[in-house]
A and B are shown apart, each in its own frame.
Chain A
Amino acid sequence: MKILNLLKIAYRSLTKNKLRVLLTMLGIIIGVASVIAMLAIGQGSKQNIQASMASLGINSVMIFPGSSNMGGVRMGAGSYSTLTQKDAEVIAARCDFVTDVTPVVSKSSQIIAGNQNWHANVTGALSQYFSIRNLTIAQGNIYTTTDERTAAKVCVIGQTVSTNLFGAGNNPVGKYIRINSIPFKVIGLLAVKGQNTFGQDQDDVVIAPFATVMKRMLSTLYVNSILASATSEKDIDKVKDQVTTLLRIQHKLTPADQDDFTVRSQADIANTFESISNVLTILLACIASISLIVGGIGIMNIMLVSVTERTREIGIRMAVGAKSRDVLFQFIIESIFISVLGGIIGITLGVIISMLVGKFGGWPVVITPESIILSFAFSSAVGIFFGWYPARKASNLNPIDALRYE
C-alpha cells in the first residue's frame, strides 16, 4: 500500500466531514488550552515565591525563641523570651560559617513627621541587618558602628513610610521624624522592594540601631530574633547545627531538655512554600486533566455517533479491496491530523489565555516548554485513542457485517 494513497484517502475523508473534524478538534483545543493556562498560573506562583524568597537573602538563618515542637498550647515562635543579645554575640564569635549576625527587636510604633502620622513596625538591629536581608539604600546611608555604640537617634526608612510622611518623590534624608515622641533623624531611604509572597509590604519599615531601640524604646533583656547569614548556601546546615549546639550550651540545657529556640533557614521556609505551591500546581493540573478527559469523551461521543456511518464506509472500502490495516492506517492518520492541529490551536489559545491572565489578573504566569509538551502529548494520546478505538473495532469486522451495520 502506497503511503501517498493512504494520505490521499485520509485527506479526502477529512475534507468530506469538516463539521465532525471541527467538533472533535474542539475537545482537544479546550483541553490543551486549559492545561497550559493552569500550569502557567501554577508555575508562575511558584517562581514568584522563589523570587521573593531569594530577595529576602537566600543564605540567611533565623533564630526564634521558643521550640517549634513544644507540646501543649502553641503561642507561635517569637512569643517566648529566651534569646538575648549575648546569644547573638556568642554566635558571631564562635560560629565558623557565619559572616554576619544581628539580634533583632521590633516594636509597632506611631510615627509623626510634621502634621503627618503613620503607623509602622520599628526594627532595631545592627548594621549587618542590611546585608543579611539584602536591603539596599536608595538615598543617604545606613548607620555606623558609632551610631550603634552611642545609641544615636537615627533611622533608615522604607519607601512606603517616606511617601506617607513626606509625600511621594520627596527625599526624606536629613529630615526628622518622631517615633513614640522621640525625635529620630532619617539618614537613609531604602530601595523599593515591593510586597513579599505573603502580601506584606516590605517597604513599610523603619530600621534603627539595635542599641537605640533596645535602650530608648524597649525595656527588655530579650530580643525577638537573631538573624545570621551563612558563608554560602551549602553551609546553611552546618550553621544550623553549630547554632543549635552553641545555644544549648549558652542556655544551659541538659540533654533531656528540648531546645528553647528554633533555627530556620530561609531555604526551609522557601521549601515549605514551594511544596504548598507544588500542591497548588498539581491541583490545577488535575482540573485541567479533567477537562482534557472530558474533551476526550466528547471525541469518543462524536466518533460513536458517526460509527454507523463510518462502519458502512469501512464495509464499502473493504468490499473494494481495503485491507484491515489500510482502514486502520486511514483512521490513525485522521486522528493524528486532528490531534496535532487541535493541539497547535490549543497551545496558541492556552498561551493567549495565560498572557491575558498575567496582564489583567495581576497574577504571574510562566509558560514552560514542559507544560506544552505534556498537554500536547496527553491530548494526542486521548485523541488518537478515542478516535482509533471505534475504528479498530470496525476494521476487524467481517466486510459483509460492516456493510450491513445498522
Chain B
Amino acid sequence: MEQGNELIVVKNMAKTYKLGDMEVNALRDVSLTINKGDFVAIMGPSGSGKSTFMNIIGCLDYHPAKGEYTLDGVDVFKMNKDQLAELRNKKIGFIFQSFNILARTSAIENVELPMLYNSSVDSKERKERALAALKSVGLAERAGHMPNQLSGGQQQRVAIARSLVNNPLVIMADEPTGNLDTRNSYDIMEIFQDMNDKGITIVMVTHETDIAQFAKSNILFRDGMIVSNEIVKDRKIAKLEIPKLPILDKNDILT
C-alpha cells in the first residue's frame, strides 16, 4: 500500500460514554486505514459502535476519544472546534439516516448551505454549483421544492447533493438507506458508485447485506471492535441491478 494514498488512518481508537455511574465502552480498540478511492461498508449488530465510530471520524463529536486519527494527513485530535468545522465544511460530506435537511427550506437552498459557510464561494458560483449538484442526483427540476413536497428518497438525494457541493474528499453516510425502500436505496447506491468512480472516498454504515454488496469492501463491527475486513467478491453494480427490480408503478422510475 502506498503511503500518500491513505485518507483515513485510525489507530487504537477507544471511546467510552459515561451515563452517571455506568460506563459504556462503545469503541474498544479500533485500528483501520481507508485509502483514497475506497468504498467501505461498515456492518455489525445494533450497539456495536458503528455510529460512534462514524461520528468521530466525521468530526461531529467534540468529546475526546482515545487513540490516534489522521484525516488526509492532519492529526484531527489536535484540532480545535473551528478547525474541525472547517474540516467538515471542506473535506467531509455527511449523510444521515434521517436526512437532516432544513425544514421549510427549498432543495436548492439546502444544497447551498455548506457554501454559505465557505467564504471562498461567491453567490453566483454558489447557485451554479448547487444546481449542478442537484442535477448530479437527478433533482434539477425539484430545485425550488420544499422538503415536505419531496419523497424520502428525494430528500436523501438533496442531502447527498448538499454533501457533494463543497467537493469533499470523503462522504460519510450513517445508514443512508435505512429509511428508504429497495428502489430508492438502489438509486442512492447508483449515485454513490458514480461519485466513487469520480474518486470520492465513501464510508457507509448499513444493516442491509444487499446494500453492502455495492461497496468495495465490508468491515464488520462487534462490541466496539472490528472483527473482519473483507473485499467484496461479487460486487453489485447499481446500474445493472436497478432494471432487475420489479416495476410496481411507472411513476417509481427515475427519469
Within B109-159, the residues touching A (CB, 8 Å) are 109, 113-114, 116-119, 123
Q: Give chain B's interface residues, CB within 8 Å of chain A.
A: 55, 60-63, 81-82, 85-86, 88-90, 94, 96, 100-105, 109, 113-114, 116-119, 123, 162, 166
Q: What residue in chain A is nearest B96 (Cβ atoms)? A: A403
Is residue A209 within 8 Å, beta carbon to beta carbon, of the partner chain?
no
The reply to whether A316 and B100 form a contact with Cβ atoms under 8 Å apart is yes
Question: How far, in whole Å, are A9 and B115 apart by their CA atoms in the complex?
Answer: 11
With a cutoff of 8 Å between Cβ atoms, the chain A residues found around residue B117 in the complex are 1, 5, 317, 320-323, 326
B68 to chain A, nearest CB (A): 20
Known: A8-B116, A12-B105, A326-B117. A320 touches B81 (CB 8 A): no
The reply to whether B104 and A17 form a contact with Cβ atoms under 8 Å apart is yes
Q: Classify the interface of chain A: helix, strand, loop or mixed.
A: helix
The reply to whether B102 and A316 form a contact with Cβ atoms under 8 Å apart is yes
The reply to whether A320 and B88 form a contact with Cβ atoms under 8 Å apart is yes
Question: How far, in whole Å, are A16 and B104 apart by their CA atoms in the complex?
Answer: 6
The reply to whether A398 and B104 form a contact with Cβ atoms under 8 Å apart is no
With a cutoff of 8 Å between Cβ atoms, the chain B residues found around residue A16 in the complex are 102-105
Q: Give chain A's interface residues, CB within 8 Å of chain B.
A: 1-2, 5, 8-9, 12, 16-17, 309, 312-313, 315-324, 326, 398-400, 403
Q: What residue in chain B is nearest A323 (Cβ atoms)? A: B85
Question: How far, in whole Å, are A9 and B103 apart by their CA atoms in the complex?
Answer: 14
The reply to whether B113 and A317 form a contact with Cβ atoms under 8 Å apart is yes
The reply to whether A400 and B100 form a contact with Cβ atoms under 8 Å apart is no
The reply to whether A320 and B89 form a contact with Cβ atoms under 8 Å apart is yes
The reply to whether B109 and A321 form a contact with Cβ atoms under 8 Å apart is no
The reply to whether A12 and B109 form a contact with Cβ atoms under 8 Å apart is yes
Known: A317-B113, A319-B88, A399-B62. A324 touches B81 (CB 8 A): yes
With a cutoff of 8 Å between Cβ atoms, the chain B residues found around residue A319 in the complex are 60, 88, 94, 100
Further contacts, 7 of them, CB under 8 A, given A1-B117, A8-B116, A403-B100: A5-B116, A16-B103, A317-B117, A318-B60, A320-B113, A321-B89, A398-B63
Question: How far, in whole Å, are A344 and B116 apart by their CA atoms in the complex?
Answer: 30
The reply to whether A320 and B61 form a contact with Cβ atoms under 8 Å apart is no
The reply to whether A318 and B85 form a contact with Cβ atoms under 8 Å apart is yes
Q: Which of B61, B81, B90, B101 contacts A323 (CB 8 A)?
A: B81
Q: What residue in chain B is nearest A320 (Cβ atoms)? A: B114
Question: How far, in whole Å, are A288 and B30 apart by their CA atoms in the complex?
Answer: 62
B208 to chain A, nearest CB (A): 22
Question: How far, in whole Å, are A398 and B52 apart by their CA atoms in the complex?
Answer: 13
With a cutoff of 8 Å between Cβ atoms, the chain B residues found around residue A326 in the complex are 85, 117
Question: How far, in whole Å, are A16 and B101 apart by their CA atoms in the complex?
Answer: 14
With a cutoff of 8 Å between Cβ atoms, the chain B residues found around residue A9 in the complex are 116
Question: How far, in whole Å, are A403 and B105 apart by their CA atoms in the complex?
Answer: 17
The reply to whether B104 and A1 form a contact with Cβ atoms under 8 Å apart is no
The reply to whether B90 and A321 form a contact with Cβ atoms under 8 Å apart is yes
A367 to chain B, nearest CB (A): 40
Question: How far, in whole Å, are A1 and B89 apart by their CA atoms in the complex?
Answer: 12
A191 to chain B, nearest CB (A): 68
Question: How far, in whole Å, are A400 and B65 apart by their CA atoms in the complex?
Answer: 14
Question: How far, in whole Å, are A220 and B61 apart by their CA atoms in the complex?
Answer: 98
The reply to whether B60 and A5 form a contact with Cβ atoms under 8 Å apart is no
The reply to whether B60 and A403 form a contact with Cβ atoms under 8 Å apart is yes
A395 to chain B, nearest CB (A): 10
A11 to chain B, nearest CB (A): 11
Known: A12-B109, A313-B102, A403-B100. A321 touches B88 (CB 8 A): yes
Question: How far, in whole Å, are A315 and B88 apart by their CA atoms in the complex?
Answer: 12
Query: Mind listing 5 A-B residue pairs with CB under 8 Å?
Result: A17-B104, A309-B103, A319-B88, A321-B90, A323-B81
Known: A309-B103, A316-B101, A403-B96. A321 touches B118 (CB 8 A): yes
A317, A320, A322, A326, most chain B CB atoms within 10 A: A320
With a cutoff of 8 Å between Cβ atoms, the chain B residues found around residue A400 in the complex are 55, 60-61
Q: What residue in chain A is nearest B93 (Cβ atoms)? A: A320
Question: How far, in whole Å, are A1 and B63 apart by their CA atoms in the complex?
Answer: 25
Question: How far, in whole Å, are A46 and B102 apart by their CA atoms in the complex?
Answer: 54
Question: How far, in whole Å, are A399 and B104 apart by their CA atoms in the complex?
Answer: 21
Q: What residue in chain A is nearest B165 (Cβ atoms)? A: A320
Q: What residue in chain B is nearest A1 (Cβ atoms)? A: B119
With a cutoff of 8 Å between Cβ atoms, the chain A residues found around residue B105 in the complex are 12, 16
A296 to chain B, nearest CB (A): 26
With a cutoff of 8 Å between Cβ atoms, the chain A residues found around residue B62 in the complex are 398-399
B154 to chain A, nearest CB (A): 17
B19 to chain A, nearest CB (A): 14
With a cutoff of 8 Å between Cβ atoms, the chain A residues found around residue B101 in the complex are 316
The reply to whether A5 and B81 form a contact with Cβ atoms under 8 Å apart is no
The reply to whether A320 and B119 form a contact with Cβ atoms under 8 Å apart is no
With a cutoff of 8 Å between Cβ atoms, the chain A residues found around residue B100 in the complex are 312, 315-316, 319, 403
Q: What residue in chain B is nearest A324 (Cβ atoms)? A: B81
Known: A8-B116, A316-B100, A320-B88. A399 touches B60 (CB 8 A): yes
Q: What residue in chain B is nearest A9 (Cβ atoms)? A: B116
With a cutoff of 8 Å between Cβ atoms, the chain B residues found around residue A318 in the complex are 60, 85, 88
The reply to whether B114 and A321 form a contact with Cβ atoms under 8 Å apart is yes
The reply to whether B119 and A2 form a contact with Cβ atoms under 8 Å apart is yes
Q: What residue in chain A is nearest B120 (Cβ atoms)? A: A2
Q: Which of A5, A313, A315 contacts B119 (CB 8 A)?
A: A5
B98 to chain A, nearest CB (A): 9
A23 to chain B, nearest CB (A): 16
With a cutoff of 8 Å between Cβ atoms, the chain A residues found around residue B86 in the complex are 321, 323
With a cutoff of 8 Å between Cβ atoms, the chain A residues found around residue B88 in the complex are 318-321, 399
Known: A398-B62, A399-B60. A322 touches B109 (CB 8 A): no
